[in-house]
Amino acid sequence: MADLFFYGSLRHAPLLERVLGRVPSVHPAVLPGHAVRWAEGQAFPMLVAEPGAEAQGVLVPGLDADDLARLDFYEGGFAFVTRELGVTTAEGERPAQVYFPADRRWVPGAAWSFDDWLRDWAEISVRAAEEVMARRGNWPPEAVAQVLPFFRARAWAQQIAAQPAPQTLRNPMTTDQVEITGRREGWHGFFTMNAFNLRYRRFDGSWSAELGRECFMSFDVALVLPYDPVNDTVLLVEQLRFGPINRGDPAPWVLEPIAGLVDAREAPEEAARREAVEEAHLQVDELIKMVGGYASPGYSTEFYHCFLGLADLSGRGQSQGGLESENEDIRNHVIPFDRAMALLDSGEINAAPLAMMLLWLANKRADLRR
């Protein structure tokens, strides 16, 4: 059995419950001689020795071997290990295990604010922790650490989804009329496939039979179609795609809009501008919201935030883009709008998002050119 002192995000009871798989008892405690600081550029804090400072936190007593294994797996993803130090409680000083960075990977930044973390990162961190712990026993902590930003992005997508589209033609029912009756073993790799049973309220007011279904847990994606209204040209990106390969398509290089997932705490507009720079080395002058929608709502959470990016494309023809760090091999094409529509008509443009965005532009093009 061991006592642990938590000074950072694991002070948040819902997060600690997700990691331990149970509700523990907690007691206020203080670690003297240490300050809590943000790990620079990260969504979590770290401890630094600082004479005269006090780290506020909680003491969780009596943790067993399984508790410690679960905590080590979760904290191992952040490259943290424990040290034994003396903490102060209402009953006096007592020894406790405390997590510190295992190496010099993290650089201490500004003073950490638990309230700021609660506002900005608590919900994301709790949802991401569910994904982390689902991989315990199958993944090493260092592998989880590599994909933790993607877990957070999935969690952020669920927060964005909390604001639904209008319900004027659609019926007024909500998820209150959907009951998840059970969950089954799914798939937890880089992507996640949830397996579940549910029933729902039918249009006639009755309840459906219980159904077994699966859902592909994806991301929110920002897409941008660069358009030069002066020269009437668009920029398309071309890259190898794994979907066509696995479908059996002998020509798996696809023409698409610029696209990339929306990182945690990032506005879709920010993601669109960032991806334009990364994939096409292009600074967009103005973003115009086109449409937002699900890619395939029957079985996937993937949601598209589509933007038209007004930009000066003069002097651009064919060029290379993408980030080497992400193994991207992207070719950019700047072509007349009419050529793009001809490629759509011939079927050479076979990515539905690009087709949708070109048709949107066709409808608005005259106004934009004026």
- The catalytic residue positions are 326
Number of H helices, E strands in the chain: 9, 17
What single string gives the DSSP state of each residue in 35-102? EEEEETTSSSEEEEEEEEEEEEEEEEEEE-HHHHHHHHHHHHTTTEEEEEEEEEETTEEEEEEEEEES
Q: What whole-number distance in Å separates Cα of residue 210 and Cα of residue 197? A: 6
Strand partners, 28: 58
| Residue of 284, 278, 286 whose CA lies nearest to 332 | 278
| Residue of 172, 127, 101, 146 whose CA lies nearest to 301 | 127
Q: Provide the CA 228 distance to its chain's centre, in angstroms.
A: 31
- What are the angstrom distances between the C-alpha of 15 and each of 19, 73, 105, 230, 234? 6, 14, 24, 52, 46
Please state the φ and ψ torsions of residue 117, each to the nearest 5 degrees. Answer: -65, -40
Neighbours of 235 (CB within 10 A): 26
Strands (E), 108-172: 108-111
DSSP state of 23: -
Neighbours of 205 (CB within 10 A): 7
Q: Which string of b and e fits 91-105 if b means at least 16 CB within 10 Å?
A: eeeeebbbbbbeeee
313 within 8 A of 228, measured Cβ to Cβ: yes
